[in-house]
Structure 1
Amino acid sequence: MGKTNPTYRDTIRQFENDWSPYHRALRQQYKPHFERLFDQARNFADAGGIQNSMDPMNTHLISIMLAQECRIAALEEEVSALEEEVNTSLDHR
């Protein structure tokens, strides 16, 4: 039988294993943030698997950036809603 390509999820696990020395060296306060990066990459595993890139690192990084972009957009919406709420309450004074 022929050799099969690793799945996208396999490449994420390998990516995480490759960076484990870095993770161990991080200060405790930064570790949860670092771990969240891999969670973000896993959140887009379906799309990453379809991409089937020759260099999965690019797909991992795009997945992480996309997740961060989504978080930024959600925070911007929250800030806008709060600003609108404050402006409305100031207008009614």
Structure 2
Amino acid sequence: MGRTVPTYREVLEEERKKWREFKNSLKEEEREVFEKLMEDCELHVSAGSQVKSPNPFREMAMSMLLEQQKEIRSMKKKLDRLEKQLEE
């Protein structure tokens, strides 16, 4: 018997296709940033698949925010280390 409900990975790919025209209208450097956001979504496919939502963009946005927050935390730690080195 075949699968009747698409996997979250399949839903994510369909959602990416919906954003293709938007992406193509961006400047080249913006397209790179956009692609990074889409890649961030793929990092959290397992978590996204646990949420049964009719709107996959919610899970996508949370994945993007999570990755951005991780980057901010990493940059803060690096900044703190640099500030400590300057104080010494």
Query: Is the CA contact (8 Å cut-off) linking 2:41 and 2:63 kept in structure 1?
Result: yes
Distance in 1 of aligned mates of 2:55 and 2:31: 26
Query: Is the CA contact (8 Å cut-off) linking 2:37 and 2:64 kept in structure 1?
Result: yes
Cα RMSD of the aligned pairs, angstroms, is: 1.5
Gaps of 5+ in 2: none
Distance in 2 of aligned mates of 1:2 and 1:53: 22
Gaps of 5+ in 1: 89-93
- Identity across matched positions, percent: 25
TM-score, normalization by structure 2: 0.90
Distance in 2 of aligned mates of 1:83 and 1:41: 33
| Structure with larger Rg | 1
Runs of 4+ in 1 over 3 A off after TM superposition: none
TM-score, normalization by structure 1: 0.85
User: How many residues align structurally?
Assistant: 88
